Structure 1
């Protein structure tokens, strides 16, 4: 196995105990520095957007209460959760920051540039049309901002060091949900052009092209997050009038993730990239089926409002459950901070096994 894969795996493996609350952050930081993991670069949708949408003209925002009520100082940041996201926990484990900043933040600091930012935009997807429907940042625009990021990094660190930082960075790509729930199943354009299977193939091809672009821009280590169990989302169960997870949508998630993995295997071989895959589908489904394993209680509805339909604007100013840490879902679509912490822990564990196996 290539040395850099082992380096990444060892550094990420060290994060696992931290996510369970058992390791000193400083110790993990020193370990990460020893193994030369430089920063975290994030691309995707609301699952990893820490607030980029605050700075663009779109209705898809989460910069109001009760979003962020359990974040530091209880303030909304634009994260579609009660607190932090999985990428925040991973970055903390690596010792860089407790909360990744959005690249569009007006007061972005040099330290943020050096240790990683998020380019993600809530409501985006692999399909460019998905982002355009909500006037958010498509992946092509996120990659354009990444090019700008690289220029700013060179200004701060110099060309040689900047190249090394990008080479040893961990990039995260997490999206796909909106392509189905906000685009294919709601809008008439794509269903007229593609069958569901053809659309899945189209999205997987889009992802593959984006990975090639990332590689051409210097990214050598990539973590791709699969689509979660869509049929277990409270809003899907409500719309389908079911109390349990909807098989039709879960089967879609599983099928699409399989297609992603085929493309990722090809990318590993053709590009020589180190690519890890995070099975968010299995993690969410396991939490739904075995909540006590994770200290959870409520699996069927979200913490905001009725927990059955509210998300985004319809969650604004709503009352919430007493203890979000016992819930899988914060609103009818997005996970709680506790669930994101679980996903982060499982993600690191999967990466350790994949990259060291």
Structure 2
């Protein structure tokens, strides 16, 4: 994605310093996965794979929105799908797959770094193989959110439905390798959850339903309750390792700037994202203790905001089309 050149040296230095402090314990592995969401290159791949093997990390299960959807929306009756060019033009063989990107998604890069597969398949891919089931799949759906209403507005797959598909997946896995082995695979897997922006930009700030029911602060609390419910449901299904990706400063999304006719970020929207992230982070700390789940909250807000405000610090990273998609989703 990023070529090895002088302009990317700041990123490489940042990652190498991070890695020096990270590879310590199992929580560290989740941190590494989180770092990979943004910085997808220049890591010590052999060391990462050895660490994953020592901790029996079996696969990755992905839940979320367009940031991690590899094509689950392709056969839905929705306008939230991108199975056409120019999407996918830099993917393998230049073929669109339904990923909301010109190339691979961060989760694909994570799986590749761990040595499982070059790309995590969509669970609803009609060509999904039994072999692929063993290495993790994505249930994510572009346009979805923690609030099921968000998904219903776009006729995409809600998080509750994604969990239904996961239960269906477990049954298939059990038939494939046996119930006991399937339970081990799930328990040793890493569950990754990435969503939330659509709840505000395609629901609360656009549609009349929730804004009549809640203030922004109360709507955030409503979403936190939903996250709590879904994480507990994941735990009940066998999740023991969980990474939750925080919200980006969505006031800096190019679409928002274009709609408002300004070049600066919308600080009001960014404040909403920041306060929501604080609540998610607090929730993760609470659930880690109460459920005994190994979890990590991934804060991408500060890094992305710094990248937007200081692009040259990262080698004019915003001029790289591949990485632009990764960080301004």
- 2:251 corresponds to: 231
For these two proteins, the number of residue pairs brought into alignment is 304
Report whether the alignment pairs 1:218 with 2:238. Answer: yes
Report whether the alignment pairs 1:196 with 2:193. Answer: no
Counterparts of 1:209 and 1:12, CA distance in 2:
23
Counterparts of 1:130 and 1:156, CA distance in 2:
34
Counterparts of 1:111 and 1:12, CA distance in 2:
27
- 1:76 corresponds to: 96
- 1:324 corresponds to: 321
Contact 2:34 2:243 in 1 (8 A): no
Counterparts of 2:237 and 2:29, CA distance in 1:
25
Counterparts of 1:12 and 1:161, CA distance in 2:
26
Report whether the alignment pairs 1:62 with 2:82. Answer: yes
Deviations 1:126-175 (A, max 9, x none): 10100000110100000000000101111111111111111110000011
RMSD: 2.3
Matches within 5 A, 1:1-357: 6-7=25-26, 9-10=28-29, 13=32, 19-21=40-42, 23=44, 25=45, 28-298=48-318, 324-325=321-322, 328=324, 335-336=325-326, 339=327
Counterparts of 1:48 and 1:11, CA distance in 2:
16
Contact 1:227 1:253 in 2 (8 A): yes
TM-score (norm 2): 0.86
How big is the shift at 1:280? 1.8
Contact 1:68 1:74 in 2 (8 A): yes
Question: 1:279 and 1:12, CA in 2 relative to 1: closer, same or farther beyond 3 A?
Answer: closer
TM-score (norm 1): 0.80
How big is the shift at 1:286? 1.8
Question: 1:187 and 1:22, CA in 2 relative to 1: closer, same or farther beyond 3 A?
Answer: closer
How big is the shift at 1:241? 2.3
Helix, strand or coil: the match of 1:119? coil
Unaligned runs of 5+ in 1: 300-322, 329-334, 344-357
Deviations 1:213-241 (A, max 9, x none): 00011101100001111011011112222
How big is the shift at 1:27? 6.0
